[in-house]
Amino acid sequence: MRFPLVALATMTFMACAPAAAQNGGGTLTLDEAFALTIARHPDLARFRYLHEGAQAALDEAAQSPALSAGLQIENAPGNGAASGFDQAETTLSLASVLELGGKREARQAVANAQVQALTLTEEARRLDLLAEVARRFLDLLAAQSSVQIADTEITQRERVAEAASQRVRAGASPESVRLSAEAAVARARLVRARSLAETRSAARRLAALWNDRTPDFERAAGDPLALPSAPSLDALQALVDRSPELRRFADEARLREARVQLARTARTPDIQWQAGVRRLEETDNWAAVVGVSVPLGSTRRAAPRVREAEAELAALALERESEEISLYATLADAQARLSAANAEVAIARTDVLPRLQQAEQIAERAYRAGALSYLEWAQVQAEATGTRREELQAAIEGHRALIEIQRLTGEPFIAPNRAERQP
């Protein structure tokens, strides 16, 4: 099983960013973050050595039993009539084992199944790692958006402070109003400074995935408010059986079946043989030597291992069923969170924020005309800023749910340019 980089690059919202996603001026795209991580992360590099080890185990399983050479000297040295080597018998022999019952083929089947399981493990680890890249990329985008929200808030608060200063100079408001407005500007700037610090921290956490201690990008490309539609539960159910989480049970089943077959081959005893020549010093003659031995009770000795292997194979079906139940519950929860995030972002964008923006304009005119208090205007601004932050948080939660869905299913639900923000 292979998950192409291009398919993984479309797994999240960031790859759906329009032309702004092109790298330039210190802007990092998700595709580039994926490529850097795959190229440099040690967790993926180590699989090359694991595959070499698995291939070595397969080569070992394919080997026939070794030949062994033997030299045996009897009746020497002695004493009396048998002194020295006069009556010695020297035997030179070769010995080995004739494997019966398909033992060699069964060993190869186990080793092959282990190679296939390692490939699936590598691809699952690759998918988990790229999902982590997407999460950290999302954290960076969220921090950047927080800076933008803070910039908007600072602009709003500065307008209030400027209007308050005018009213104070005109004697229409007390000095405390101007000081309160300036304090609000200072708080907004503090929030922006914190968001900038979080942006730098998020960039370092992202770059750490490809072992870059001094990232050279300034920002990530993408729009966190661009959410795709949530897949239906029926669509998720159809993908459950093809998910990487369940596909691994097919490879595990092949491995356990091979182990059962290997355990059963032990019921058939191997034949140990030996052949050679013997030198008879007393008569100065040579004689052939042939020997065969067969162990007894092989079926009885093999029975416990066979029962163990069969029990492990039988338990796998229940393990898969349990995993499927857990997987569906997780996917259903993620689908619900993505749907809720879509609804919340849509309502904030189309209903709440336009009304608050209109209310803020009306409140500014009313305050400057003396028909509204400073606190009432500031409250309208605070509600607008709070709604923007809630919209961003809802979108971030939605993307986290989407990343989890795609990690568990291994399927991209969106194609490029299909998750663009609606106007």
Q: How do 27-28 and 219-220 pair as beta strands?
A: parallel
Give the gyration radius of the chain's Cα atoms.
37
Give domain status of residue 254, yes or no: yes
The CATH number given to whatever domain includes residue 232 is 1.20.1600.10
- Global pTM? 0.79
Output phi, psi for 402, to 5 deg: -65, -45
| Cα–Cα distance measured from residue 328 to residue 244, given in angstroms and rounded to the nearest whole number | 13
Note whether residue 370 is domain-resident: yes
Residue 292 lies in a domain: no
pLDDT band at 399 (very low <50, low <70, confident <90, very high): very high
Q: How far apart, in Å, are the Cα atoms of 391 and each of 73, 205, 336, 374, 401?
A: 91, 24, 17, 26, 15
Q: How many CB atoms lie within 10 A of CB 172?
A: 11
The CA-based angle 153-349-411, given to 5 degrees, is 115
Question: Distance (Å, rounded) from C-alpha 151 to C-alpha 92?
Answer: 92
**For the segment 308-356, what is each residue's pLDDT rounded down to a tens digit?**
999 999 998 899 889 888 888 989 999 999 999 999 999 999 999 999 9
Which structural domain, as residue segments, surrounds residue 372? Answer: 5-65+102-268+320-409
User: Considering the domain boundaries, does residue 116 fall inside one?
Assistant: yes
pLDDT tens string 154-174: 999 999 899 889 888 888 878
pLDDT score at 188: 93
User: pLDDT at residue 9 above 70?
Assistant: no
Digit-coded pLDDT (tens) for 381-392: 999 999 999 999
Supply the pLDDT for residue 141.
94
363 against 23, higher pLDDT: 363
> What is the rounded distance in angstroms from the CA atom of residue 390 to the CA atom of residue 396?
10
Whole-angstrom distance, CA of residue 291 vs CA of residue 126: 55
79 confidence band (pLDDT: 50, 70, 90) = low
Structure tokens at 421: 């923000």
pLDDT exceeds cutoff 90 at 285 = no
Domain count, the chain: 1
Is 291 part of any domain?
no
- Residue 398 binned pLDDT confidence (cut-offs 50, 70, 90): very high
Residue 418's pLDDT band, with cuts at 50, 70 and 90, is: very low
In a domain, 11, yes or no: yes
245 found inside a domain: yes
86: confidence class by pLDDT, cuts 50, 70, 90: low
pLDDT (average), residues 100-108 = 88
What digits encode the pLDDT tens for the residues 202-248? Answer: 999 999 999 888 888 888 998 999 888 888 888 888 887 778 878 88
pLDDT, averaged across the chain: 84
